[in-house]
């Protein structure tokens, strides 16, 4: 089973489709995707919008709050653009701006596509989610009593996390069985990385999140232990979804020097180059990178650049392809839209967006355990 595409797509009620269609017409007219200057076309669009909203208000079997109906329409329209774009209500904007590394969570890594339930792409070892019995491939159909079907990936993550260890209520669909679980939150990774050395195995550097402090921490605590030696290293990026590409680039720069590690490509041929200009302090050590379906964003950038420029081998599972630049745009009612404004491409021109990083040594979804990773890695590194 490919967890990136196994999500189930249930049917929508007709009125949601109608409302979304009306909003789409309105959005296209306003943004200029339809022909500008044609008053009759615009008039028909507004007429359609008014007609459909009127039918929902007057003919639907229940009385609907027009504000709530409109908000649902906006959410569906923006959330359907791509996995990173999102409509955020006023309360979610506050949560988004207040998020921090100190936040707690149940220890579950999720992916979500439009019109699908969020799917578990990873479960953190010894986390509340693991204790509660959550499994890879589970679908989260509700969070805190709210259906997740129309949520964006950003909203799902915000509702899973919190600033305390208060449990979060989850409705979980596994096959044909539904479970209602109350899962505690915990601060799982006080530090952004874990570095370990086990006799007979390569050293392992696991990145939990790419923070602004991470590059200097690694230079201080990890580089001296590896620099100048021939100890092979595993860079473990499994389940890593947090952090900025700029911070990931500084970590990648420990392993490879490049005037251009890639670029973000936006509208009208706009380009933003990402560089790794410093000398690579760990440029000579043997390196293998581990990925899984939960390796996303900045972690995908790191894996893709190391694979292309350093020729490091990737072991694991194909990543989801979510390396994009987003822009938060406030709206007049204090809600906001988070829009994807650029996507990342490697120096070769290959875009990681939607394609992801393809492993050199692939592991099937039912074998994503440390033992299998080590077995696949051993032939790719010098013997200890």
pLDDT tens by residue, 173-221: 999 999 999 999 999 898 999 999 998 899 999 999 999 999 999 999 9
Which domain-ending residue is among 47, 80, 113?
A: 80
pLDDT of residue 195: 97
pLDDT of residue 128: 95
364 and 263 together in one domain: yes
Lowest model confidence (mean pLDDT) among 17-21, 109-113, 165-169, 347-351 = 17-21
233 and 309 together in one domain: yes
Question: Sorting pLDDT into bands at 50, 70 and 90, what band is 228?
Answer: confident
243 and 371 together in one domain: yes
**Average pLDDT value over all residues in the chain:** 86
Residue 266 lies inside a defined structural domain of this protein: yes
214 and 319 together in one domain: yes
Which domain-ending residue is among 125, 159, 183?
A: 183
154 and 208 together in one domain: no
| pLDDT, mean of residues 275-302 | 96
Question: Sorting pLDDT into bands at 50, 70 and 90, what band is 46?
Answer: low
Residue 254 lies inside a defined structural domain of this protein: yes
197 and 266 together in one domain: yes
Nearest to 140 by CA among 126, 127, 129, 131: 129
Residue 228: which CATH number?
3.90.226.10
Residue 22 lies inside a defined structural domain of this protein: yes
Residues 6+ apart with CB under 8 A from 125: none
Residue 367 lies inside a defined structural domain of this protein: yes
User: How far is 264 from 273, CA to CA, in rounded Å?
Assistant: 7
Domain count, the chain: 3
pLDDT tens by residue, 54-98: 765 666 666 655 555 566 677 778 888 999 999 999 999 999 998
Which domain-ending residue is among 183, 208, 223?
A: 183
Question: Sorting pLDDT into bands at 50, 70 and 90, what band is 256?
Answer: very high
pLDDT tens by residue, 296-315: 999 999 999 999 999 999 99
60 and 146 together in one domain: no
pLDDT of residue 64: 55
248 and 179 together in one domain: no
pLDDT of residue 9: 38
The pair of structure tokens assigned to 113 is 């596509």
Residue 131: which CATH number?
2.30.42.10
| pLDDT, mean of residues 281-290 | 96
Residue 8 has pLDDT above 90, yes or no: no
Residue 1 has pLDDT above 50, yes or no: no
The pair of structure tokens assigned to 302 is 């790191």
208 and 126 together in one domain: no
139 and 222 together in one domain: no
Residues 6+ apart with CB under 8 A from 205: 193, 194, 195, 218, 222, 233, 234, 235, 236
Sign of CA dihedral 9, 14, 15, 18: positive
179 and 212 together in one domain: no
| pLDDT, mean of residues 145-160 | 94
3-state class percentages of the chain: helix first, strand second, coil last, to nearest 5: 30, 25, 45
Q: Which domain holds residue 200?
A: 193-380
203 and 348 together in one domain: yes
| pLDDT, mean of residues 359-377 | 95
């Amino acid at each position: 089973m490919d967890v990136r595409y196994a999500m189930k797509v249930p049917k929508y009620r007709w009125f949601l489709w109608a409302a979304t269609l009306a909003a789409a017409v309105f959005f296209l007219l306003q943004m200029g995707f339809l022909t500008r200057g044609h008053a009759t076309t615009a008039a028909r669009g507004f007429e359609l919008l008014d007609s459909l909203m009127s039918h929902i208000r007057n003919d639907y079997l229940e009385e609907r709050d027009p504000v709530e109906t409109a908000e649902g329409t906006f959410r569906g329209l923006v959330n359907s653009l791509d996995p990173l774009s999102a409509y955020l209500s006023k309360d979610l904007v506050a949560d988004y701006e207040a998020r921090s590394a100190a936040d707690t969570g149940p220890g579950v890594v999720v992916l979500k596509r439009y019109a699908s339930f969020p799917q578990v792409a990873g479960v953190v070892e010894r986390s509340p989610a693991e204790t509660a019995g959550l499994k890879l491939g589970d679908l989260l159909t509700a969070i805190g009593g709210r259906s997740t079907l129309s949520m964006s990936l950003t909203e799902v993550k915000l509702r899973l996390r919190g600033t305390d260890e208060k449990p979060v209520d989850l409705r979980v669909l596994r096959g044909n069985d539904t479970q209602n679980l109350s899962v505690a939150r915990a601060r799982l990774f006080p530090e952004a990385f874990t570095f370990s050395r086990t006799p007979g195995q390569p050293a392992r550097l696991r990145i939990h999140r790419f923070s602004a402090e991470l590059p200097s921490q690694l230079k201080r605590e990890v580089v001296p232990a590896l620099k100048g030696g021939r100890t092979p290293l595993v860079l473990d990026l499994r389940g890593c979804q947090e952090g900025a590409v700029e911070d990931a680039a500084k970590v990648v720069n420990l392993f490879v020097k490049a005037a251009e590690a890639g670029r973000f490509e936006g509208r009208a041929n706009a380009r933003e180059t990402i560089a790794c200009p410093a000398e690579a302090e760990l440029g000579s050590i043997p390196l293998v990178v581990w990925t899984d379906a939960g390796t996303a964003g900045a972690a995908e950038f790191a894996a893709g650049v190391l694979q292309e420029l350093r020729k490091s081998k990737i072991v694991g599972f194909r990543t989801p392809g979510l390396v994009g630049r987003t822009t938060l745009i406030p709206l007049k009612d204090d809600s906001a839209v988070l829009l994807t404004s650029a996507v990342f491409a490697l120096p070769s021109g290959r875009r990681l967006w939607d394609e992801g990083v393809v492993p050199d040594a692939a592991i099937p979804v039912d074998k994503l355990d440390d033992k299998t990773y080590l077995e696949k890695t051993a032939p790719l590194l010098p013997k200890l």
